[in-house]
């Protein structure tokens, strides 16, 4: 289940992609399937272990062709990305910025590692569905690694423009996930024994994600402008020269350190670890 539209990002064979705050790796996996060179970066080693496991399975199944430019999974800090300037053709930051106090620092880092003219998709929770969740249960956001802000669309767009990007469009996604989180918050988001209705709705969403019936996809698209759980904003990094940043594609340096290890500070932001997602269901 993707939140960002890869066709709008132009991700194809050989595209150098950073999936910052990759979580379970859903965007990274699709980029790998398209032949891109992908770095899946996350603060959580637990998440990265799962990503590496799935990638290994994809290689064995032939979904991904192993080569010098495959990329990999890297542990890192969103506030100090371990990559050189302009290292990526495309960046995806999905459901990450709402967890970070220093979001402008993270945005500046994302723009720094994006090549001039490169494209980026940033997704955050849509404002009004998010406000309902905060109102129903304070445990939804008042938890280590939880959400620290609710964005207005124009506020997020202004921060991206101030960092050196121009806007390339936006949309909302995952309308059917909003009622699930309202129901979960209304009955206690932290409950280890969710009530029957929450379990059944979760099963319904899992079925939607795996089976993707066309009629339900159509309903989701119709409801997205009103109920969409996620706001997706597309931008392009400014360049004074239209031909700038059109450098070679190929092998990508995973880190800026000679030993290949990401020696990053994991204590710089207590909200940097993204909340886990269950079976692809969009959440905090």
Q: What is the pTM of this model?
A: 0.84
Structure confidence at residue 238 as a pLDDT band (50, 70, 90):
very high
Contact by Cβ (8 Å): 121, 101: no
The verdict on residue 86 lying in a domain is yes
- State which residues form the domain around 66: 6-127+143-174+229-237
Cα separation, 206 vs 202, whole angstroms: 6
Structure confidence at residue 66 as a pLDDT band (50, 70, 90):
confident
Percentage, residues of the chain above pLDDT 90:
77
The verdict on residue 180 lying in a domain is no
The verdict on residue 206 lying in a domain is no
The predicted model gives 110-132 an average pLDDT of 98
Interior CA angle at 130 toward 196 and 160, to 5°? 140
For the chain, the average pLDDT equals: 87
Total domains in the fold of the chain: 1
Over 60: is that where the pLDDT of 117 sits? yes
The verdict on residue 186 lying in a domain is no
Read off the CATH number of the domain in which 97 is found.
3.40.50.150
Q: Which pLDDT belongs to residue 283?
A: 66
Over 90: is that where the pLDDT of 142 sits? no
Over 90: is that where the pLDDT of 145 sits? no
Over 60: is that where the pLDDT of 260 sits? no
Digit-coded pLDDT (tens) for 73-108: 999 999 999 999 999 999 999 999 999 999 999 999
Digit-coded pLDDT (tens) for 123-132: 999 999 999 9
The verdict on residue 24 lying in a domain is yes
The verdict on residue 269 lying in a domain is no
The verdict on residue 46 lying in a domain is yes
The verdict on residue 45 lying in a domain is yes
Over 50: is that where the pLDDT of 262 sits? no
Structure confidence at residue 217 as a pLDDT band (50, 70, 90):
very high
Digit-coded pLDDT (tens) for 160-170: 999 999 999 99
């Amino acid at each position: 289940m993707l939140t960002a539209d890869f066709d709008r990002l132009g991700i194809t064979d050989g595209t150098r992609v950073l999936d910052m705050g990759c979580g379970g790796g859903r965007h990274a996996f699709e980029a790998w399937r398209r032949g891109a060179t992908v770095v899946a970066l996350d603060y959580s080693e637990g998440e990265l272990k799962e990503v590496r496991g799935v990638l290994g399975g994809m290689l064995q199944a032939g979904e991904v062709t192993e080569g010098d430019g495959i990329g990999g999974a890297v542990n890192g800090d969103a506030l100090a990305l371990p990559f050189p300037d302009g290292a990526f053709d495309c960046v995806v930051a999905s459901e990450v910025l709402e967890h970070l106090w220093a979001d402008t620092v993270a945005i500046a880092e994302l723009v720094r590692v994006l090549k001039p003219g490169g494209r980026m998709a940033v997704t955050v929770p849509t404002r009004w569905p998010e406000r309902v969740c905060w109102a129903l249960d304070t445990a939804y956001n008042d938890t280590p690694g939880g959400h620290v802000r609710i964005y207005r669309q124009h506020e997020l767009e202004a921060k991206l423009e101030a960092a050196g990007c121009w806007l390339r469009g936006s949309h909302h996604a995952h309308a059917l996930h909003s009622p699930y989180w309202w129901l979960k918050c209304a009955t206690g988001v932290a409950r280890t024994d969710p009530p029957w209705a929450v379990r059944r709705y979760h099963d319904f969403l899992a079925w939607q994600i795996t089976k993707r019936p066309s009629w339900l996809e159509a309903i989701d698209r119709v409801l997205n402008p009103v109920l969409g759980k996620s706001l997706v904003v597309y931008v392009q990094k400014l360049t004074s020269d239209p031909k700038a940043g059109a450098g070679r594609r190929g092998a990508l340096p995973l880190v800026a350190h000679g030993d290949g290890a990401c020696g990053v500070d994991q204590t710089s932001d207590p909200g940097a670890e993204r909340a886990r997602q269950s079976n692809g269901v969009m959440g905090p």
